[in-house]
Structure formats: structure tokens, C-alpha cells
Structure 1
Amino acid sequence: MLIIAGSLRVEPAAREAYLADCEKVIAQARASAGCLDFLLAADPLEPGRIHVYERWESAEQLAAFRGSGPSDAQEGEVLDADVQRYLISGVEAP
């Protein structure tokens, strides 16, 4: 299993529009084979920050989806990104 997690920064005034533009990508991801979860969400304390969380069954399924990621216009709006990929070797019950 893979988890992609971190944050993006956009202009605070553009964040809601950016997230609205991402709704189609979120829906596509969630409908993709191997996607267990996919979320982009506004940070409640920092106006320009967007949290990124993805969970995938395999690297191959993630790679198959990546071609339908953000558009060039969306990428141009990102001022900074700190997003990491984590390989999960096991999951324990809480």
C-alpha cells in the first residue's frame, strides 16, 4: 500500500477556486482501480494551505492514474508543495 501525503500552497484568495477545479480529479481518482482514498482539503488555520492525502493499493495503480492528474493551469497555481510518498508494509488495527 502507498500513502501520498503532504500539503500544497496557493494564493489564499485562489484556494477555494483551486479546490473547486480539483473536484473532477478527486472523483476520477476515487473511481480508479486501486484508489482507497483521495482527498484535497483546505487547512482550517492557514488560508493558502491545502492538505493532500491519497491511499493506493499499489504503485502500478497510482502510476496508471497519474496521467489524469492536475492540469498545467492548476500546477501553475501551486506556489509550493511538500508532498511525500510512503510505502506501507503493514496495517494494524487501532
Structure 2
Amino acid sequence: MPIVAGHLLTDPAGRDALVPEGTRAVALARSAPGCPDFALTANTLDPARVNVVERWASEEELLAFRGSGPDGNTAARILGADVRRYAISSVGYA
């Protein structure tokens, strides 16, 4: 099960507009086969940071969705990113 987690960096003045712009990407991902969760959220401490968390049933389903990322206008507003993919071998309740 792949987990994608990290953050995007944007101009703090535009961060609160960037998060709702991601609604389309979130909806597309959640309707894609094998995606039980996908979230873009404003970080509560850093006004330039947008948190990214994705859960996928398989690597194949994650890769099939890739390429459905932000449009050029939104991508141009992302100033930096640290988003990584983690391969999870087991899952249990916290």
C-alpha cells in the first residue's frame, strides 16, 4: 500500500486560495480506482505550507492516476515541495 505524504510551499498570501483550487484534484483522486483517501490541507502553523496525504491500494493504481496533477496556473504557484512515496507493508489501528 503506497502512502504519499509531504507538503507544498506557496506564497502565504495565496495559500488559502490554493487549497480550494485543489478540490478538483482531490475529487478525481478519490473517485479513481484504489484511492481510499486524498487530502490537501492548509498547515495550521506555517502560512506558506499545504499538507498532502494520499493512500492508495496499489502502486499500479497510484501510477495510473499520476499525470492528473495541477493545471499550469496552479503549478506555477507552487514554489517548492517535499512530497514522498512510502511503501507500507502492514497496517494496524492506532
User: Smaller-chain TM-score range?
Assistant: over 0.9
Rounded Cα–Cα distance in structure 1 between residues aligned with 2:19 and 2:93: 32
What one-letter code is carried by the residue in structure 2 that aligns with 1:5?
A
Structure-1 residue corresponding to 2:80: 80
Q: Distance in 2 between matches of 1:74 and 1:28?
A: 16
Counterpart secondary structure, 1:13: coil
1:62 aligns with 2:40: no
TM-score (norm 1): 0.94
User: d(CA) in 1 for partners of 2:43 and 2:93?
Assistant: 27
Give the corresponding residue for 1:22.
22
Deviations 1:38-94 (A, max 9, x none): 000001111110100000011111111112111122111111101110000111233
Percent identity for Structure 1 against Structure 2: 47
Q: Counting helix residues as a fraction of each chain, which structure ranks higher?
A: 1
- RMSD of aligned C-alpha atoms? 1.0
The answer for unaligned runs of 5 or more in structure 2 is none
- How does the TM-score come out when normalised to structure 2? 0.94
Structure 1's unaligned 5+ residue stretches are none
How many residues are aligned here? 94
Who is 2:92 aligned against?
A: 92
